[in-house]
Amino acid sequence: MLKSKRLLTLLLAAALALSAAACGSSDDKTPGDTTPQSSDTDTTAPEDKDYLYYDGADLGGETFTVFNLEKNLWDMICLIQPDELTGEIVNDAIYNRNVLVKQKLNCEIEEVNSPNYEQMSSELGKLILADDDVYDAAYIPMSTISTGVTEGYYQCLNDIDTIHLDESWWDQVLLSSTELNGRNYFAQSSAHLMGWDSLWCIFFNEDMMDDLKLEYPYQLVRDGKWTLDKMQELSHAAANLNGDESFANTDASNCIYGCTTYDSMFPKLLFGFNVEFVKMGDSGVPEVSCNTDAFINACQKLMKFISTEGDFLDAEVYDNTLKTHSQNIFANNRTLFLGYELKMAQIFRTMESSFGILPFPKLDENQKSYRSTEVQHCAMFTIPVTNRNPEKVGLLFDALSFESDKSVLPSYFNVMVEQKGLRNDESIEMLNIIKETRSFDLGIAYSWTEGLEFDINYSLLNGNDEFASQIAAKLPKIQDKIDKFVNSDN
């Protein structure tokens, strides 16, 4: 059991470095640099400091109501206000963070959780149209947020003096990737842990690598040689019928796969190949970028991997208690690689085999950097336009974000650490590369390309090389959505 925790032991150490650098790149290293520097594995705790803006602040005992997703949506930690101390380390860290901030600012927090994340934006919109100021702040899924920006639901956070967006406790990657004409209508911080739980990565089974006498891919990553071809080569070496007649995914299957996931991974892989559906142009305006040879060539190369039986399995199974679900195929040592969110590290705590994490591969070695991303439904902090005094809730969540980096993040990662005396320096490096190369495909993040993503996924799975015509058919609608979004700020 000790061996099974080698990945998990990295996370406490990594958390200690997050307060200073979790959301941005260092001055001497550009995002996506594939050569880890010595600072990448620095586990020194950041300088202990206090929040500078408590002095003289008094919110007069006011209660601030926050609209939020389900507290444990998709087994991710989404809660803002725990009801009580329970002895569970993350719950209690968040609870104690709130006690501190509420005492310092003289206020209370009320959390209202929506049972349907897809309807949150429209629910908020109805209240805003009725000029009802029920919610002081709202955590809205990124995939539905563009409608709210277009309709003017959210206040510009840059105009709120109590929110210090230029500080490290706000996600600088998100802010720079999604600003519209230099303005930010939503933000992300460690006040809400879904941003970390939803970070996509590649899990791999170290014990299976040992049995197959294969080298762990850590050095490939360091050398900038962790590519799709190398991932498929290792996947092919692992694929084995193991007595089965086929690689069909059934309850009776014993076969071994090279890589397993579900089809939400495909756009993330394409993003990792340095191609996007929509990107931010040099002029600061989102631009369609999937109607290029580079995008289509990346799709064609990915399709060859996906269509190779045994090397790859799309285990699109919704019931995670079933043997055929991708997480259970990995937990049962029946796939070498698994594409999933970082949240799975908590679920795999009982897994006896040793495993590690990797960034998504490059398309080829000519690609300059690795690229990572989050779930497109990740919750984003917003302030509705109906809030007549946004400076108050801005101060509250600025303080919560600061205190979260200082006290909640170490506890969050501690959940994944059972043997604190051990270190997996390789995985520390990999996690740092993943977090430092995070960015967002705007088409996916804002759901502008949702229909096209479905078409591309279907073609990838079925070996249908009609990407160019599919893109051409959807472009007018995508461009119309982008234009409405851009013009909403004029």
From first to last of its 490 residues, what are the pLDDT tens digits of the chain?
Answer: 434 444 444 444 444 344 333 333 333 333 334 433 333 333 333 456 899 999 999 999 999 999 999 988 888 999 999 999 999 888 999 999 999 999 999 999 999 999 998 889 989 999 999 999 999 999 999 888 888 888 899 999 999 999 999 999 999 988 988 887 788 999 999 999 998 889 999 999 999 999 999 999 999 999 999 999 999 999 999 999 999 999 999 999 999 999 999 878 899 999 999 999 999 888 878 999 999 999 999 999 999 999 999 999 998 777 878 999 999 999 999 999 999 998 888 788 778 888 888 999 999 999 999 999 988 889 999 999 999 999 999 999 999 999 999 999 888 876 655 433 224 678 778 888 988 898 889 898 888 998 999 999 999 988 888 999 999 999 999 999 999 888 876 5
> Do 404 and 190 touch, CB atoms closer than 8 A?
yes
Distances from the Cα of 359 to the Cα of 94, 238, 297, 433, angstroms = 29, 19, 21, 7
Token pair in block for residue 388: 């007549």
pTM for the model stands at 0.85
- Of 106, 38, 78, whose CA–CA distance to 425 is shortest? 38
- DSSP 3-state of 279: strand
Whole-number pLDDT of residue 36: 39
The continuous run of DSSP H or E covering 394 comes out as: helix 390-403
**Residue 240 DSSP code:** B
Whole-number pLDDT of residue 346: 79
The continuous run of DSSP H or E covering 200 comes out as: strand 200-205
Measured between alpha carbons, how far is 265 from 275 in angstroms, rounded to an integer? 14
> Do 310 and 241 touch, CB atoms closer than 8 A?
yes
Read off φ and ψ for residue 338, nearest 5 degrees. Answer: -140, 125
Whole-number pLDDT of residue 7: 45
Q: Where would I find the H helices in 223-261? A: 228-238
Q: For 484, left (φ over 0), alpha (ψ -120 to 50), or beta?
A: alpha
Q: At what angle do helices 293-306 and 228-238 cross, to 10 degrees?
A: 10
- Of 155, 160, 143, whose CA–CA distance to 185 is shortest? 155
The continuous run of DSSP H or E covering 458 comes out as: helix 450-462
Measured between alpha carbons, how far is 105 from 389 in angstroms, rounded to an integer? 15
CA quadruple 400, 72, 315, 429: dihedral, nearest 10: 30
At CB < 8 A and 24+ separation, what contacts does 463-467 make? 463/303, 463/307, 465/300, 465/303, 467/295, 467/296, 467/299, 467/300
Measured between alpha carbons, how far is 358 from 353 in angstroms, rounded to an integer? 17
- Of 472, 276, 484, whose CA–CA distance to 376 is shortest? 276
Token pair in block for residue 358: 């990797």
Q: At what angle do helices 450-462 and 293-306 cross, to 10 degrees?
A: 50
| AA identity, residue 290 | C
Neighbours of 463 (CB within 10 A): 10
Token pair in block for residue 85: 């101390």
The continuous run of DSSP H or E covering 155 comes out as: none
The count of residues in the chain is 490
Read off φ and ψ for residue 383, nearest 5 degrees. Answer: -125, 115
Look up tokens 């934006």; give the residue.
121
Strands annotated E in 351-431? 355-358, 379-382
> Do 193 and 80 touch, CB atoms closer than 8 A?
no
**Positive/negative CA dihedral, 264, 172, 487, 154:** positive
Measured between alpha carbons, how far is 172 from 344 in angstroms, rounded to an integer? 25
Measured between alpha carbons, how far is 490 from 487 in angstroms, rounded to an integer? 5
Whole-number pLDDT of residue 131: 93
Question: Please, which residues have CB within 8 angstroms of residue 145's CB and are 6 or more apart in sequence?
Answer: 121, 154, 185, 186, 380, 382, 446
Whole-number pLDDT of residue 490: 53
Question: Please, which residues have CB within 8 angstroms of residue 126's CB and are 6 or more apart in sequence?
Answer: none
Q: Where would I find the H helices in 239-349? A: 265-272, 293-306, 326-331, 344-347
> Do 142 and 376 touch, CB atoms closer than 8 A?
yes
